[in-house]
Amino acid sequence: MRRVYLDNAATSWPKSSAACEAAMAFVRDCGATAGRGVYTSGQVADRWLSNARRNLARLIGANNPQGLAICCSGTHALNAALHGVLHPGDRVVTTAIEHNSVLRPLNRLVEQLGIELVIAPCDAWGIVDIEQAAALVDSRTALLVVGHASNVTGAVQDLKRWSQLASQASARLLVDASQTLGYLPISVERDGIDMLAAAGHKGLRAMPGTGFLYASPDLHVAFQPLMSGGTGLQSETLDAGVTWPACVEVGNLNMAGVVSMAVAAEEAQNQLSRSPEPTSQPWLPPFQRLLEGLRGQVGLSIAGHPTGAGAPVHVPLVSVLVDDWDVHDFAAVLDTHFGIEARAGWHCAALVHQSLSPGVGDRSGGTSQLGYSGTLRLSTGHSTSIEEIEYTLDAFRQILG
C-alpha cells in the first residue's frame, strides 16, 4: 500500500536529502567531535559547528552566530531557556496555545523555583488577544513566552505585538518557533525577540534529535545551565562556571544533527529568499487544497481555521473532528485502509483544546455520545503533492460518503 505522510508537524518526512547526505558523509568520513581536539578532523567538526551557527543565525535574522546554542530538540531548547533566565519570584506570562514543552517546565518551575505563572487565553482560532495578554503583564513580569504557531490549529501569533508588549513591560520575550521554522520568515533582530527556541527536525527538515536556542548577547553572562558536564573548556576545574553557548552545549554534540542543520538552514534560507511572503510559500497550494476539500466534506468540522479577510496567517496543519467517530479510530482506518498517516489526540498541548471551535466545546461538554479525545491533525510538509491531497480527500469521501 502507498504511504501518504501527513504528520509533518510532529516531525517532517522526507528530510532534506542534501542534509541527510552531508550528515551521513560526515559520520562516515570524519566522525570527530567539535570543541575538543585540535587535530585535523576535530577542526573539520569545528567548522561544521560554525557553519550551523552561521546558517541558523542567518535564517532567524540574528546578527551574532554566537547567540546560537545547539540543542537536541525543541523541548531541550525551551527547557534550557526557561531554566536559564528565571529566578525565584519572577512572574511569567504565557498562553493557552503552548505546547507541553513550555507548559510543563513552567508548571514545575512554579514548584521548584517559586515563579508565578499566568496563562493568557486564546480564541477559537488559537489566536491570543494581545490586549488580554497585556492585562496580565505587570511590573514583576520577567518573561513572556509565546508559540509562534499553534501545533493544534496552525494559527500564527503576531510577534511584533508581543515584542512591543515585552519591551513596554521591560520583560524578556521567548518565542517557540518549533512549528514555523522553515515555513515562515522570522527575524529576532527585526521583531525584538530576546530568545528563540526551535526544533530542527520539523519544517527545517534536519535530522531527528536536533534543535537550537538563540539568546541575545546581554543574556549570556548570567545564563544558568540546565545541566553540567564536559565542555572542552577549563577541564582542570570542578567549577562549571562556563560561558554561553558552552553552558547549553554540555557533552558531545549530535554532530550528524549539527551538519544536517547547517545544510538544511542554508536550503531554507534560499527558499525563503526566493519567496519571502507567507502567501507565496511553495508548501501552501497543497495545504490550501486540503483545507478546501475538508471544508466541503460532510460529517466533519474543522477546528480553528477561519476563512476570508482577517483570517490569521497559518502553518500547514489542520485539526478536524469527525461526526460519530473517535478520532483515534478514524486515524486507524486512514492508516490501515489507505496508508494515510495522520495524528489523533491532544498533540501534547494540554490547554488549547478548551478554546477551539464550537464543535469541540459540544463534545467536551458531553453533548455528544462520544467523549472528546482530541483532534485528528493533518499536517502537510514541503514535499506533500496535490495528488497526495486528492488521494486523501477521496479516502475521506469513501469513509464518510
Ligand X SMILES: Cc1ncc(COP(=O)(O)O)c(C=O)c1O
Asked whether position 199 contacts ligand X by CB under 6 A, the answer is yes
In this structure, are residues 229 and 242 in contact, taking their beta carbons and an 8 Å threshold? no
Question: Which range of residues in 40-48, 172-180, 257-265, 391-399 is near ligand X by CB under 6 A?
Answer: 172-180
- Evaluate the CA torsion angle 322, 328, 333, 339 in order and state its sign: positive
Nearer to ligand X, 141 or 178 (CB): 178
Instruction: Determine whether 339 is exposed, middle or buried from the number of CB atoms within 10 Å of its CB (0-12, 13-18, 19+).
Output: middle
Nearer to ligand X, 144 or 242 (CB): 144
In the bound complex, what is the minimum distance in angstroms from residue 156's beta carbon to ligand X? 11
Asked whether position 153 contacts ligand X by CB under 6 A, the answer is no
Among positions 261-280, residues that touch ligand X (CB under 6 A) are none
In the list 211, 225, 286, 304, the residue contacting ligand X (rule: CB under 6 A) is: 211
In the bound complex, what is the minimum distance in angstroms from residue 100's beta carbon to ligand X? 8
In this structure, are residues 186 and 177 in contact, taking their beta carbons and an 8 Å threshold? yes
Nearer to ligand X, 51 or 151 (CB): 151
H, E, C per residue of 279-328? HHCCCHHHHHHHHHHHHCCCCEEEECCCCCCCCCCECCEEEEEECCCCHH
Asked whether position 179 contacts ligand X by CB under 6 A, the answer is yes
Question: Which range of residues in 14-22, 175-183, 273-281, 375-383 is near ligand X by CB under 6 A?
Answer: 175-183
Question: Which range of residues in 130-138, 176-184, 230-238, 269-277 is near ligand X by CB under 6 A?
Answer: 176-184
In this structure, are residues 267 and 52 in contact, taking their beta carbons and an 8 Å threshold? no
Asked whether position 101 contacts ligand X by CB under 6 A, the answer is yes
x/- contact string, 337-376, with ligand X (CB under 6 A)?
-----------x----------------------------
Asked whether position 203 contacts ligand X by CB under 6 A, the answer is no
Report which of 237, 54, 74, 233 is spatially closest to residue 145, judged by C-alpha positions. Answer: 74
Nearer to ligand X, 179 or 297 (CB): 179
> Cα torsion for 211, 214, 219, 224, to the nearest 10°?
0
In the list 147, 182, 203, 316, the residue contacting ligand X (rule: CB under 6 A) is: 147
The conformation of residue 16, written as its DSSP 8-state character, comes to P
In the bound complex, what is the minimum distance in angstroms from residue 349's beta carbon to ligand X? 7
Residue 308's identity, in one-letter code, is: G
Question: Which range of residues in 72-80, 313-321, 333-341, 373-381 is near ligand X by CB under 6 A?
Answer: 72-80
Question: Which range of residues in 174-182, 183-191, 231-239, 336-344 is near ligand X by CB under 6 A?
Answer: 174-182
Q: Give the up-direction half-sphere exposure of residue 12: CA atoms within 13 A in the CB hemisphere.
A: 30
Asked whether position 75 contacts ligand X by CB under 6 A, the answer is yes
In the bound complex, what is the minimum distance in angstroms from residue 304's beta carbon to ligand X? 14
Asked whether position 151 contacts ligand X by CB under 6 A, the answer is yes
Nearer to ligand X, 159 or 242 (CB): 159
In the bound complex, what is the minimum distance in angstroms from residue 354's beta carbon to ligand X? 17
Asked whether position 178 contacts ligand X by CB under 6 A, the answer is yes
Report which of 139, 140, 145 is spatially closest to residue 84, judged by C-alpha positions. Answer: 145
Centroid of chain to Cα 174: 12
Instruction: Determine whether 218 is exposed, middle or buried from the number of CB atoms within 10 Å of its CB (0-12, 13-18, 19+).
Output: exposed
Q: Give the up-direction half-sphere exposure of residue 333: CA atoms within 13 A in the CB hemisphere.
A: 14
Asked whether position 73 contacts ligand X by CB under 6 A, the answer is yes
Distance CA 401, CA 386 (A): 21
Residues in contact with ligand X by CB under 6 A are: 10, 73-75, 99, 101, 147, 151, 176, 178-179, 199, 211, 348
